[in-house]
């Protein structure tokens, strides 16, 4: 038994771990891969803090609130923006190698921000922060359980007691008991499959597990599409490029939008061009080879390797791709969910910092500021946890055994690929009711077919097919919830754009909530 079990070793999980450890608690961080493989490592552009003399915390707050389209919590936005300079100082003191200009941490401007505000480490910001936090966790004696897949949260009388885990190396089910559980499992952008900038870990499994445990999820319909992913591979080309002056051009080489508008506006403008049969390109040529080599070396490499185009010489074909989930496990500013002793932070949580549209650079900031606050709050929990095998553990053990016996008459990988395309085209940048209802019935059909799917590989050792199958089960559970609330929000707001309801409607200035009662999905709106 531990004091605090943290599931997920991205920047949110590691920030929470360091804070809980600093409070003298025993802390275990669990992850289905290794910390340095977390999606946080992919973050390129930067982490926001108002450090520029022409910027202010107030401006940061205002930009964040404006972008949220009325759905952010003022309390959370003010807290996070106020804490931002201190968060950068903390990361700096731990050893994060931020890029510097004349001895000060360098800043770049990202979309929707009135000033240069994103602190960065070339275009490897997430990777450098993640490595720094991991080093510090090891130094402070945080324990790690790698290659463990979260199955479920153990809950009794609405109090979390721990989690059940699949040991990926052996396919054995284990229980990890804890006084407090923190979910930091990242977002769910990868349910859009090849149409997403996200890594293979981001299927929203923490959200699905929280929902099965009885927790509430909120604002799932708000999925951010990043305007500039590489056309062939959906790999991200960071907003840092546009912040530095790169242009968006159409097939005839003409600019057609303000490159520093918010991501939702740009994605729609690009989508409309693509739908009309044009191509869209990011033109970085004016930035020059020296600037690109110094500030954006990763972007150049990615474009050369995955698109076969050197951005120094030619415009790069791009398209929008699913990038970030604003919604998540519904939590307060301390990361508390609707289940006692169950916390969440980072992209899997919805503390209402971003509302209907996230600003670039605010997510890494959230993972650090609210990750630390959540870790601190979890460390305060004194929860009675009986040392026994819980019913949940027995059920999950039987479930895993049963998966090995499933008939595998239907290929779940085919179904997953099919669903990701449907989601991108119909529950993506531009949505409408009829098409979304069609997707919902497909998802429900997939749920009914699950018992006829299964795995070919019957080995218990490193059975990655088993892991993918479990991920797929989570995908169709979460996708159903997301599509249900997307259908119910009859308005356009931020990242949720409805062709059949193109206007914002104040009757919907509320958070969508979903939860399960006796396995049945319920949904509502709350102000």
Ligand X SMILES: Cc1cc2nc3c(=O)[nH]c(=O)nc-3n(C[C@H](O)[C@H](O)[C@H](O)COP(=O)(O)OP(=O)(O)OC[C@H]3O[C@@H](n4cnc5c(N)ncnc54)[C@H](O)[C@@H]3O)c2cc1C
CB nearer to ligand X: pick between 443 and 470: 470
Give me the least distance between CB of 363 and ligand X, in Å please: 4
Q: How far apart are CA 320 and CA 280, in angstroms?
A: 10
Angstrom CA distances, 81 to 65, 91, 99, 120, stand at 11, 16, 21, 17
CB nearer to ligand X: pick between 163 and 486: 163
Name the one range near ligand X by CB under 6 A: 211-219, 356-364, 404-412, 509-517.
356-364
Using a CB cutoff of 8 Å and minimum separation of 24, what contacts does 489-494 make?
A: 489/221, 490/433, 493/69, 493/70, 493/71, 493/356, 494/67, 494/68, 494/69, 494/71, 494/222, 494/264, 494/326, 494/355, 494/356, 494/357
Site for ligand X (CB under 6 A): which residue of 3, 5, 13, 430?
A: 13
Angstrom CA distances, 423 to 21, 226, 476, stand at 40, 15, 11
CB nearer to ligand X: pick between 468 and 509: 468
- Binding-residue pattern over the window 159 to 188 for ligand X, x denoting contact by CB under 6 A: -------------------------xxxx-
Q: Are 496 and 427 in contact (CB under 8 A)?
A: no
Q: How far apart are CA 163 and CA 456, in angstroms?
A: 27
Q: Parallel, antiparallel, or unpaired for β 159-167 and 148-156? A: antiparallel
Residues 39-58 that bind ligand X (CB under 6 A): 39-40, 42-47
Q: Residue 13's Cα: distance from chain center in Å? A: 13
Q: Residue 197, interface with ligand X (CB under 6 A)?
A: yes
Q: Residue 214's Cα: distance from chain center in Å? A: 21
Q: How far apart are CA 369 and CA 364, in angstroms?
A: 9
Give me the least distance between CB of 208 and ligand X, in Å please: 9
CB nearer to ligand X: pick between 202 and 357: 202
Name the one range near ligand X by CB under 6 A: 67-75, 82-90, 197-205, 307-315.
197-205
Give me the least distance between CB of 491 and ligand X, in Å please: 26
Coil, helix or strand at residue 24: coil
Site for ligand X (CB under 6 A): which residue of 4, 77, 217, 236?
A: 236
Active site residue 285: no
Out of 60, 108, 117, 242, pick the active-site residue. Answer: 242
Name the one range near ligand X by CB under 6 A: 201-209, 311-319, 412-420, 425-433.
201-209
CB nearer to ligand X: pick between 38 and 492: 38
Out of 226, 354, 358, 493, pick the active-site residue. Answer: 226
Site for ligand X (CB under 6 A): which residue of 10, 320, 327, 375?
A: 10
**What residues does 328 pair with on adjacent strands?**
218
The dihedrals phi and psi of 301, each to the nearest 5 degrees, come to -60, -45
CB nearer to ligand X: pick between 145 and 410: 145
Name the one range near ligand X by CB under 6 A: 96-104, 196-204, 243-251, 286-294.
196-204
Give me the least distance between CB of 203 and ligand X, in Å please: 7
Kindly tell me the sign of the dihedral angle through the C-alpha atoms of 450, 9, 428, 220.
positive
Active site residue 226: yes
Positions of E strands within 214-313: 217-218, 223-230, 247-250, 280-283
Q: How far apart are CA 63 and CA 72, in angstroms?
A: 11
Residues 125-164 that bind ligand X (CB under 6 A): 125-126, 149-150
Place of tokens 């946080």: 40
**Tokens found for residue 250:** 């159409």
Give me the least distance between CB of 84 and ligand X, in Å please: 11
Residues 284-343 that bind ligand X (CB under 6 A): 324
Site for ligand X (CB under 6 A): which residue of 25, 32, 108, 273?
A: 32
Active site residues: 226, 242
Q: Which residues bind ligand X (CB under 6 A)?
A: 7-13, 30-33, 38-40, 42-47, 125-126, 149-150, 184-187, 197-198, 201-202, 205-206, 236, 324, 346-347, 360-364, 367
């Amino acid at each position: 038994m531990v004091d605090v079990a943290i599931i997920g070793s991205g920047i949110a999980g590691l920030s929470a771990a360091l804070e809980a450890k600093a409070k003298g608690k025993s802390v275990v961080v669990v992850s289905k891969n290794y910390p340095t493989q977390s999606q946080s490592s992919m973050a390129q552009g930067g982490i926001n803090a108002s450090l520029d003399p022409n910027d202010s915390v107030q401006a940061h707050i205002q930009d964040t609130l404006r972008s949220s389209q009325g759905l952010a919590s003022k309390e959370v936005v003010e807290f996070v923006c106020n804490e931002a300079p201190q968060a950068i100082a903390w990361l700096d003191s731990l050893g994060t190698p931020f890029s510097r200009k004349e001895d000060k941490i360098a800043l770049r401007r990202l979309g929707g921000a009135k000033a240069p505000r994103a602190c960065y480490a070339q275009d490897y910001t997430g990777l450098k922060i993640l490595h720094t936090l991991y080093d510090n966790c090891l130094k402070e004696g945080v324990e790690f359980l790698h290659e463990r897949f979260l199955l479920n949260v153990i809950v009794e009388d609405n109090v979390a007691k721990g989690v059940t885990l699949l040991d990926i190396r052996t396919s054995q089910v284990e229980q990890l008991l804890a006084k407090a559980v923190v979910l930091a499992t990242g977002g769910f952008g990868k349910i859009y499959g090849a149409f997403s900038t996200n890594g293979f870990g981001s299927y929203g499994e923490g959200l699905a597990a929280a929902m099965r445990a009885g927790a509430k999820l909120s604002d799932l319909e708000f999925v951010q599409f990043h305007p500039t992913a590489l056309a062939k591979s959906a790999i991200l080309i960071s907003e840092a490029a546009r912040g530095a002056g790169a242009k968006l051009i159409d097939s005839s080489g003409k600019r057609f939008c303000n490159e520093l508008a918010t991501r939702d506006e740009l994605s729609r403008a690009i989508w409309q061009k693509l739908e009309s049969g044009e191509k869209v390109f990011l033109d970085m040529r004016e930035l020059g080879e020296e600037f690109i080599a110094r500030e954006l070396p990763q972007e150049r490499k990615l474009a050369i390797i995955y698109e076969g185009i050197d951005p120094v010489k030619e415009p790069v074909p791009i398209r929008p791709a699913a990038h970030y989930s604003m919604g998540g496990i519904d939590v307060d500013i301390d990361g508390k969910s609707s289940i006692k002793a169950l916390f969440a932070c980072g992209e899997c949580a919805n503390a209402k910092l971003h509302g209907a549209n996230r600003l670039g650079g605010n997510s890494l900031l959230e993972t650090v500021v609210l990750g630390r606050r959540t870790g601190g709050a979890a460390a305060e929990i004194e929860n009675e946890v009986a040392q026994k095998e819980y019913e949940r553990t027995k059920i999950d053990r039987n479930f895993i055994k049963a998966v090995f016996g499933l008939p595998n008459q239907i290929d779940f990988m085919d179904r997953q690929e099919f669903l990701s395309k449907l989601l991108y085209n119909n529950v993506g940048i531009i949505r409408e009711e009829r098409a979304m209802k069609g997707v919902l019935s497909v998802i429900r059909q997939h749920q009914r077919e699950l018992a006829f799917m299964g795995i070919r590989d019957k080995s218990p050792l490193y059975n990655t097919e088993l892991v993918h199958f479990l991920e797929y089960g989570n995908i169709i559970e979460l996708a159903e919830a997301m599509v249900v609330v997307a259908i119910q929000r009859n308005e356009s707001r931020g990242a949720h754009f409805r062709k059949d309801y193109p206007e914002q409607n104040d009757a919907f200035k509320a958070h969508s909530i979903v939860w399960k009662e006796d396995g049945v999905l319920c949904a509502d709106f709350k102000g």
